[in-house]
Amino acid sequence: MFEEFVLAASTGDLSAEPRARADADAVEFRMDLAADPLTQLDEYDGTLPLVVTNRASWEGGEATDIGRYDALTDAIIHDAVVAVDIELAALRGNAPAGEQSHATALRSSARDEGVEVIASVHDFESTPAVGTLADLLADAAAAGDVGKLATTANAAADALAMLQATHEAVDAGRRVATMCMGEAGRHTRAVSPVYGSRIGYAPVDAADATAPGQYPLATLRRLVDGLRAEAASSRRTETGA
């Protein structure tokens, strides 16, 4: 699924999927924000593949108990589901008690179902130094099929650090998805795919953003496609192709 860049439209309402089709490659179904998420999955007849996320409250989401893993385990058996997001802290045992065994069991079940695992890290306060970012991406990429890292940029230097870490991770052969939250890093959502980030996220409806600094879906599609095309053209010019 993530051999090339994938733009995921984030929503807690799968009935919004038709509005995403023109610009998105997939839908990130935020089960923690959804009403009757498993019923929505049972009734889903859209054309876009689904990434299922049931974000824990301790990592910025609305899911408050360990039962979120049961819901995700039920979700990954649906044919439309191609990936599941699992917090790296849970996979590594750094999350609240009882999380790790459920997280690793979910990862095993996902792989049995042929569903890819996005191991994710979110920092809602800051962006660490490049070395720390690189280590987090290495750990996340090793724990899942794609390592996702979203930090908060408080200054332009933070955005530069994320782009540098993205470049180093991709150069090392890792599949990663990177972005900075907040206004100071908003542009990284459009620029990081030029450096090899595999997943971007944008709300189906701009008023329903699921993270600070998200672009509207159509805007991010236009920016990413334009920047990637320009970068490809520049590379061809440099090589004389």
Catalytic residues, by residue number, are 122, 148
Question: What pTM value is reported for the model?
Answer: 0.94
Q: Is the pLDDT at 227 greater than 70, yes or no?
A: yes
Average pLDDT over residues 214-238: 85
Burial label for 209, CB within 10 Å (0-12, 13-18, 19+), is: middle
Q: Is the pLDDT at 225 greater than 60, yes or no?
A: yes
Q: What percentage of the chain reaches a pLDDT higher than 90?
A: 88
Question: Where residue 79 falls among pLDDT bands split at 50, 70, 90?
Answer: very high
CA–CA dist 104, 126 (Å, integer) = 28
Question: Where residue 99 falls among pLDDT bands split at 50, 70, 90?
Answer: very high
Residue type, 146: V
CATH level 2 (architecture), domain 6-239 = Alpha-Beta Barrel (3.20)
Question: Where residue 212 falls among pLDDT bands split at 50, 70, 90?
Answer: confident
Residue type, 234: S
Question: Where residue 235 falls among pLDDT bands split at 50, 70, 90?
Answer: low
Q: Is the pLDDT at 197 greater than 80, yes or no?
A: yes
Average pLDDT over residues 159-164: 98
H helices of the chain, in order, are 17-20, 37-43, 68-75, 88-92, 99-112, 130-143, 156-171, 188-191, 217-239
Only one residue has tokens 């999380």, namely 99
Average pLDDT over residues 215-240: 83
The DSSP bridge pattern shows strands 146-152 and 176-181 to be parallel
Polymer length of the chain: 241
Q: Which two tokens stand for residue 204?
A: 């189906």
Q: Is the pLDDT at 234 greater than 80, yes or no?
A: no
